[in-house]
């Protein structure tokens, strides 16, 4: 930069120094009130012109584009289109970067152009500057977080406008402004961090809905309002029944997409109330003015909205939702009680096949009882509380016992003998069904060893659950148990329900093929209650099917049941499979099954389930009467 040949008078110098002081003082006051970075830029420009008395002030931002543009982002003063007519860069290798703004950005130091008419670096803008009556400029760098982000540039109509003292004061002003910008950015980051923490603490990361923690706060506030206004309130606990299966079949990405679609549909329902994601597969809707009728209507609307299939991976999938409902004050006046009881009502809805269900008073006690049993079941499996029972199967034509089904009972120290229907579901919920299956397997082979030693060579059939078929250690457990007792594969058999096969058809088939290679017999249990196809059955290495007792027991009273049993027997024989009929309770049913060609029967007509210790005596006394 070239300096002027004329020095200002003392009066002029003092006046110019005062304008710099006024600008510094007013800028500092503005910094104390600043809440927003952009507004601070505009406010500084206004102060420099209106209070400082400069002709034009603007703030530039140093862009990191290819041209290294210095872009004006705030301005004030009489520019008459000046900023729109000039181009400024901070690149060193171009004339547009050799003005005070470009130099200040590059060097990080104030740059003064005292007289545009004598400074050769002013050439790119000389004509425009003269037309707008500017003669001198100062550019002050803005240092923020260790980098120059831009400049404050001030234009004056007179030459030699910026003395050394004035430059020092304006530099202090720029430094204060830089500090203010840095402080505002730090505050903004703190606010963003606080908002992130709040989002993580109070909102579900996937759906953006309030999470369980915020739900409790919202429900507590809603209950307080309802109590003060003496009006009811409803809590709807919605659970997606198919989420686990979709996750296992398609992966987490697809199940996340399903949850996002469900959240979208819930939020789209008019006047649904507050929607929150309460668990992986559960949402809660709070109806702030909901009585029983409103809760029922909303439940029906929600289920209708979720009824349309969701397209994932080219498949149309059903959400299969259930809803449990609680009401304030009828079902409780505390948020935790309302939430817990709504979840209990949902559980009962799934048990009973209902789409939605209101909470009933006795469910809390029942749920507590179930939780107690769930905690005690592990002890029972690991201890000496389980008992092995069995139920024989008989060949209908010969009357020979062809096998027995291994069953389990729980000899509870306080409650006495518990049937499997009361604890098998608990074992599945607690992740204990596979340890229970392995207990039955070991007990069955232990008993089979004793029976074979006594000349009772009949296989014991063990039931396998869907969890068992997914267990990668299943084959190892079966092989180890056989080796432990020196057993041959024909000592044991396995029965698998149709539902277990349909949970994971490909995986189930592969596991059954591996089991079959061990030489064990395989049967499909409860046949007729699932959805397996003939084409699928042909691919399975099975030996027999067991017709579900719901069809067998109705043979003599229902023509439909009789037709189903006859058709099933014919189909199985066409596939080369043997047939066992469950639920044979009368001689008439047994005779009818024999006429239809059914190979074996199992049911109360032959024997009720018995402790395995009683089987030898029963076998010796059994006589088949046709």
Q: 109-141, pLDDT tens digit by residue?
A: 999 999 999 999 999 999 999 988 899 999 999
Q: Which residues of the chain have pLDDT under 70?
A: 1-11, 13, 198-199, 248-249, 270-273, 362-375, 429-430, 499, 502-503, 529-536, 625-626
According to the model, what pLDDT value does residue 553 have? Answer: 86
* pLDDT recorded at residue 5: 44
**How confident is the model at residue 623, as a pLDDT?**
85
* Tokens matching residue 282: 């559960």
Q: What is the pLDDT of residue 9?
A: 63
Q: Tell me, what's the pLDDT at 13? A: 67
Residue 233 is predicted with a pLDDT of 93
pLDDT of residue 1: 47
Q: For residues 101 and 90, what is the distance between their CA atoms, to the nearest angstrom?
A: 7
Considering the entire predicted model, what is its pTM? 0.50
CB-CB contact of 72 with 93 (8 Å): no
Owner of token pair 């596991």:
511
For residues 434 and 467, is the Cβ–Cβ distance under 8 A? Answer: yes
State the pLDDT at residue 470: 86
Q: What pLDDT score was predicted for residue 3?
A: 43
Residues in CB range of 36: below 8 A, 6 or more apart? 184
513 Cβ partners below 8 Å, 6+ apart? 541
Burial class, 197, CB count within 10 angstroms (exposed 0-12 / middle 13-18 / buried 19+):
exposed
Phi, then psi, of 277 in degrees rounded to 5: -95, 115
Instruction: Report which secondary-structure segment, H or E, holds 349.
Output: helix 335-352
Give the phi and the psi of residue 116 in degrees, each rounded to 5. -70, -20
Phi, psi dihedrals of residue 384, rounded to the nearest 5°: -120, 35
Which two tokens mark 307?
């009824």
């Amino acid at each position: 930069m070239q300096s002027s040949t004329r020095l200002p008078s003392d009066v002029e110098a003092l006046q110019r120094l005062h304008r710099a002081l006024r600008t510094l003082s007013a800028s500092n006051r503005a910094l104390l009130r600043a809440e927003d970075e952009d507004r601070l830029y505009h406010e500084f420009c206004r102060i420099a012109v209106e209070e400082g008395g400069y002709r034009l002030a603007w703030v530039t931002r140093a862009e990191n584009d290819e041209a290294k543009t210095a872009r004006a982002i705030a301005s004030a003063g009489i520019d008459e289109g000046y900023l729109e007519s000039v181009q400024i860069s901070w690149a060193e290798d171009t004339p547009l970067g050799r003005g005070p703004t470009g130099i200040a950005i590059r060097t990080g130091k104030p740059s003064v152009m005292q007289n545009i008419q004598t400074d050769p670096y002013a050439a790119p803008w000389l004509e425009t500057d003269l037309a707008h009556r500017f003669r001198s400029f100062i550019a002050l760098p803005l240092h923020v977080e260790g980098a120059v982000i831009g400049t404050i540039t001030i234009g004056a109509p007179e030459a030699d406008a910026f003395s050394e003292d004035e430059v020092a004061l304006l530099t202090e002003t720029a430094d204060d402004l830089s500090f203010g910008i840095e402080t505002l950015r730090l505050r903004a980051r703190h606010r963003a961090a606080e908002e992130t923490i709040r989002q993580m603490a109070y909102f579900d990361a996937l759906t953006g809905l309030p999470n369980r923690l915020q739900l409790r706060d919202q429900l507590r506030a809603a209950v307080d309002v309802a109590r003060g206004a003496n009006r009811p309130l409803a809590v709807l606990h919605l659970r997606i029944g198919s989420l686990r299966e979709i996750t296992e079949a398609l992966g987490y990405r697809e199940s996340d997409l399903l949850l996002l679609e469900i959240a979208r549909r819930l939020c789209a329902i008019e006047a649904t109330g507050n929607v929150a994601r309460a668990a992986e597969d559960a949402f809660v809707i709070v109806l702030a003015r909901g009585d029983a009728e409103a809760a029922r209507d909303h439940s029906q609307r929600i289920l209708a909205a979720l009824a349309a299939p969701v397209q994932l991976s080219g498949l149309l999938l059903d959400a299969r939702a259930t809803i449990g409902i609680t009401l304030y004050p009828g079902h409780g006046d505390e948020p935790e009680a309302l939430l817990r009881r709504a979840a209990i009502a949902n559980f009962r809805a799934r048990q009973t096949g209902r789409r939605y269900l209101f909470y009933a008073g006795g469910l809390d006690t029942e749920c507590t009882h179930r939780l107690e049993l769930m905690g005690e079941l592990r002890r029972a499996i690991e201890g000496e509380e389980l008992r092995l029972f069995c139920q024989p199967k008989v060949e209908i034509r010969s009357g020979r016992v062809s096998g027995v089904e291994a069953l389990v009972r729980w000899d509870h120290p306080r409650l006495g003998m518990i049937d499997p229907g009361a604890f098998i579901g608990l074992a599945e919920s607690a992740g204990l069904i596979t340890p229970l299956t392995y207990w039955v397997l070991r007990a069955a082979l232990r008993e089979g060893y004793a029976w074979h030693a006594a000349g009772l060579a009949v296989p014991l059939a063990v039931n396998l659950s869907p969890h068992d078929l997914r267990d990668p250690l299943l084959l190892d457990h079966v092989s180890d148990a056989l080796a432990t007792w020196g057993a041959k594969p024909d000592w044991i058999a396995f029965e698998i329900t149709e539902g277990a096969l349909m949970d994971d058809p490909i995986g189930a088939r592969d596991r059954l093929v591996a089991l079959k290679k061990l030489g064990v017999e395989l049967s499909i249990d409860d046949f007729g209650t699932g959805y397996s196809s003939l084409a699928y059955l042909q691919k399975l290495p099975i030996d027999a099917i067991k017709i579900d007792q719901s069809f067998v027991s109705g043979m003599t009273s229902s023509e439909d049941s009789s037709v189903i049993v006859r058709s099933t027997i014919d189909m199985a024989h066409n596939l080369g499979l043997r047939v066992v009929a469950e639920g044979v309770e009368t001689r008439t049913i047994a005779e009818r099954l024999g006429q239809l060609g059914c190979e074996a029967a199992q049911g109360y007509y032959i024997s009720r389930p018995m402790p395995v210790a009683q089987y030898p005596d029963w076998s010796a006394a059994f006589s088949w009467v046709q």
